[in-house]
């Protein structure tokens, strides 16, 4: 495996802006190798982890809390109360508020939702949203509109969204999102591209998106990042994670 060029370390700049790392990861209800999953998250050293398919049923809070503790994070919001999406964060984050949002239920489809928060890092203030969009194209397109509305409703200048979009770049829903938001991978590529399936990834259906004022320092699958092994990536869950380094301006 090729070693990646360094990704900027989290820090607060003299002007109050913040460099942060954001990880988006579909964890498949933690049904796979949870020790490997925790090792991958820890090696990425994220300030925010946007989780999809967090445990939602029996003892889901304890399971999510164990994952957070094993990877140096705390549970910020989401899980069963958001129908799967969740947000974990490092102790660098100062939390202003959180809200879990359930989306309209289409009969015969899975319930979907957003885990959202507003956090601060130094002098930077950031809206955060984790999502897992529908497998159905028409429903997915409507959920993209709800996502954009929700980000706008957070009342912050800078925001990020990340998750399993269940669609490749160029698709109708992906295009709707990137008409307003930066696709961080396209803006500043770093690491690997495709996210599914983990053993032989041939499509990019997971992404981190950011409002225009956020500077993208690098974004991609952390293949070759020190501490991230190919075996752990294959056994942790059924998606590969997306890691981004971002500079968020001070307010």
% residues pLDDT > 90 (the chain) = 95
Residues 47-65 have pLDDT tens digits of 999 999 999 998 999 999 9
- pLDDT over 90 at 155, yes or no: yes
Mean pLDDT of the region 213-217: 97
Query: Which SS3 state, helix, strand or coil, does residue 77 take?
Result: strand
Query: How high is the pLDDT of residue 2?
Result: 57
Query: pTM for this structure?
Result: 0.97
Q: For strands 18-26 and 48-52, give the pairing.
A: parallel
Cα 177 from chain centroid?
15
- Residues 6+ positions from 141 with CB-CB distance below 8 Å: 172, 173, 176
Cα gap 96→217, rounded to integer Å: 25
- pLDDT over 70 at 142, yes or no: yes
CA dihedral defined by 166, 72, 69, 58, rounded to 10 degrees? Answer: -10
Cα gap 81→68, rounded to integer Å: 17
Listed range (3-17, 63-77, 155-169) with the worst mean pLDDT: 3-17
- pLDDT over 70 at 3, yes or no: no
In order of their start, the domains of the chain are: 16-248 (3.60.10.10)
Stated as kind and residue range, the H or E segment containing 11 is: strand 11-12
Query: How high is the pLDDT of residue 187?
Result: 98
Q: What is the DSSP string of 109-160?
A: S---EEEEEEEEETTEEEEEEEEE--SSHHHHHHHHHHHHHHHHHT--S-EE
Averaged pLDDT score across all residues of the chain: 96
Between residues 37 and 106, the one the model is more confident about: 37
């Amino acid at each position: 495996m090729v070693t990646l060029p360094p990704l900027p370390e989290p820090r607060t700049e003299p002007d109050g802006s913040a460099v942060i790392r954001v990880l988006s990861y579909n964890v498949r209800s933690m049904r796979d190798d949870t020790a490997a999953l925790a090792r991958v998250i820890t090696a990425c050293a994220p300030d925010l982890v946007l989780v999809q398919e967090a445990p939602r049923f029996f003892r889901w809070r304890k399971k999510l809390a164990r994952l957070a503790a094993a990877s140096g994070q705390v549970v910020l919001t989401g899980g069963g109360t958001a129908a799967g999406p969740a947000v974990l964060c490092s102790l660098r984050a100062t939390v202003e508020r959180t809200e879990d949002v359930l989306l309209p239920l289409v009969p015969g489809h899975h319930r979907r939702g957003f885990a959202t928060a507003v956090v601060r890092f130094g002098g930077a203030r950031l809206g955060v949203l984790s999502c897992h969009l529908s497998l159905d194209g028409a429903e997915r397109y409507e959920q993209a509109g709800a996502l954009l509305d929700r980000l706008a409703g957070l009342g912050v200048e800078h925001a990020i969204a990340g998750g399993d979009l269940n669609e490749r770049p160029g698709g109708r829903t992906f295009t709707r999102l990137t008409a307003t938001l930066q696709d961080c991978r396209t803006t500043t590529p770093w690491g690997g591209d495709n996210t599914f399936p983990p053993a032989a990834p041939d499509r990019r259906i997971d992404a981190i998106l950011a409002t225009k004022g956020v500077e993208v320092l690098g974004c991609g699958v952390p293949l070759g990042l020190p501490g991230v092994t190919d075996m752990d990536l294959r056994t942790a869950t059924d998606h590969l994670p997306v890691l981004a380094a971002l500079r968020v301006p001070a307010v």
